[in-house]
Amino acid sequence: PVLVVDFGAQYAQLIARRVREADCYSEIVPHTMPAEQMLAKDPLAIILSGGPASVYADGAPGLEEGVVTAGVPVLGICYGFQAMVRALGGTVERTGSREYGQTDVTVSGPPSTLFTGQPEQQVVWMSHGDAVTEAPDGCAVSARTPGAPVAAFEDDERRLYGVQWHPEVLHSAHGQEVLVNFLTKGAGITPSWTSENVAEGLIEQARAQIGQDRVICGLSGGVDSSVAAALVQRAVGDQLTCVFVDHGLLREGEAEQVETDFVEATGVDLVVVDARERFLSALAGVADPEEKRKIIGREFIRVFEQAARDVVRAHEPGGQEQGEAQGGADDHPVRWLVQGTLYPDVVESGGGSGAANIKSHHNVGGLPEDLQFQLVEPLRTLFKDEVRQVGLEIGVPEGIVWRQPFPGPGLGIRIIGEVTADRLEILRRADAIAREELTAAGLDREIWQCPVVLLADVRSVGVQGDGRTYGHPVVLRPVSSEDAMTADWTRLPYDVLARISSRITNEVEEVNRVTLDVTSKPPGTIEWE
């Protein structure tokens, strides 16, 4: 791998993603990892990330000399650049001139490795107080800014490189080229991390891990569980059983997407549990959002547990109920559970080096003693965009691969008030129209998601034809976001809004008003409940 050493800012994940975008596999490791352990991973290159500290601060994370003297190509970025300079015997000073934000930099042309093929004047994203005033011995200075006399250095012989700015952020105009130059020219890596290779590798790994055992997977209809299941299906075929709990809170067409499209495309063995009635009864009379969420979560676990138990029992060696021919004495026990854990979860729960991580344990934490599975997590090295690419590669339907985020409790938390079958039907129709029009306008990739919310306990007067109506409002909640932690309301074109509004009020009789939510997050959350 290309190791990205995390010096504690938010940049390491971004760097790791950019390296993957350059078709090189990357892994994030904490700066506290001893050099010996880093080298034991046989890195093709090491990138030192930026960090919040000053190299002068007490307890500022240092860099073991071993990292830069082992002969592995190294690129230092920002804080990592300064830490590298110190380890190599150059000079970092408090020059008193801070540079923050977009900065003009002058770079050298050939024979520079990092900047070959780029304009001499570039705009880059800076964020530093201290500056390198003297490059380490043997290193050529290849970029300058007004505030940083040594803004980049290169040493082709030892394959050591550094830049003061952040090439990984989009504000650095030629940043990705700098990274690609380092990886391919500086470190001599042949890019091979393509979705085809990745899919193949993951399938092989899953096959080796599972062996002859049986494996179970809960499908939600979302991207992660679908791609994970499809990979495992490719690996072990019908040793995999998928369970889909239809809680009746999905949007129009979503259950069919799983039960028909997904099954046809991947050939997975699917058990569908129709729990629609059960969820409706459990939710009867409940209007409080937290209580609804709790009920939906609890029922979901119970239904899934029962289904899992049934699958396990059906494959107990020799324990086949009703003595069916399938299974029997030579059948293998269900030992594995597929989880769609992604790389950011792994990194964020501190499990970057392969230790069992906290998050996935949480996910199976609800299962009782007699259902202890080991985890298969085929996506644990992937970022979301890579999951989508791999999904497309192995034939997961596009409608699932590009599905926008949808909450586990589904439409249950988009009906403000009690959830009933009629209300679900109304919301489903309104939501389908909104989605159809947004898709037709080509806006799907631009919008993070667009919940449609039914204000089921509110009524307002309207007029249609010659008649008075007394119907419900729906709210459109289109948002733009990077990660759902913060969001802004999307400025949808008026004509698209007009079409959605006119179609919903015409086609969904019970709705006589369409409103637009223009609140950012914070203070509003994305969902209304």
Annotated binding site for ATP: 220-226
Stretch that binds ligand XMP, among 44-52, 414-422, 499-507, 518-526 (CB under 6 A): 518-526
Binder among 102, 192, 486, 525 for ligand XMP (CB under 6 A): 525
User: Helix, strand, or coil here: 198?
Assistant: helix
Cβ of 371: how many Cβ atoms within 10 Å? Answer: 16
Candidate segments 40-48, 229-237, 275-283, 405-413, binder of ligand XMP by CB under 6 A: 405-413
Least Å distance between CB 407 and ligand XMP?
3
Parallel, antiparallel or unpaired: strands 269-274 and 240-246 = parallel
Q: Pick from 407, 412, 473, 478: which binds ligand XMP (CB under 6 A)?
A: 407
- Kindly state whether residue 50 participates in binding ligand XMP, applying the rule CB under 6 A: no
Residues 6+ apart with CB under 8 A from 488: 479, 480, 481, 520, 521
Establish if 353 lies at the interface with ligand XMP (CB under 6 A). no
Joined tokens for residue 302 = 């119970």
* Cis status, amide bond into 61, omega within 30 of 0: no
Could you say whether residue 141 binds ligand XMP (CB under 6 A)? no
409 makes contact with ligand XMP (CB under 6 A): yes
Using the rule CB under 6 A, which residue among 399, 405, 509, 518 binds ligand XMP? 405
Residue 412 found at the interface with ligand XMP (CB under 6 A):
no
Structure tokens at 47: 């990138």
What's the rounded Cα separation, in Å, for the pair 512 and 6?
53
Instruction: Using alpha carbons, select from 367, 232, 238 the residue that is nearest to residue 307.
Output: 367
Give the active site residue among 31, 128, 166, 174: 166
Residue 388 Cβ, how far from ligand XMP at the closest point, in Å? 16
Count of residues that interact with ligand XMP, criterion CB under 6 A: 10
User: Residue 226 has which token pair?
Assistant: 């679908």
> Is 332 annotated as catalytic?
no
Reported residue count of the chain is 529
Choosing from 484, 496, 497, 516, the residue that interacts with ligand XMP (CB under 6 A) is: 484
CB-CB contact of 219 with 242 (8 Å): yes
CB of 365 to ligand XMP, least distance (A): 16
* Minimum distance from residue 456 beta carbon to ligand XMP (Å): 18
Beta bridge partners of 3: 27, 46
359 binds ligand XMP (CB under 6 A): no
Active site residue 24: no
- Residues 352, 4: Cα–Cα separation, whole Å: 11
Give CA 152 to chain center in angstroms. 32
Applying CB under 6 A, among 82, 381, 449, 505 the residue interacting with ligand XMP is 449
Query: For this structure, is 166 an active site residue?
Result: yes
Q: Is 384 in the site for ligand XMP (CB under 6 A)?
A: no
DSSP type of residue 411: G
* Smaller CB separation from ligand XMP, 80 or 222: 222
332, 334, 340, 346: CA torsion to nearest 10: -90
Nearer to ligand XMP, 449 or 490 (CB): 449
Q: Name the residue type at position 84.
A: M
Active site residues: 78, 166, 168
Binding residues for ligand XMP, rule: CB under 6 A, are 405, 407-409, 449, 484, 521, 525-527
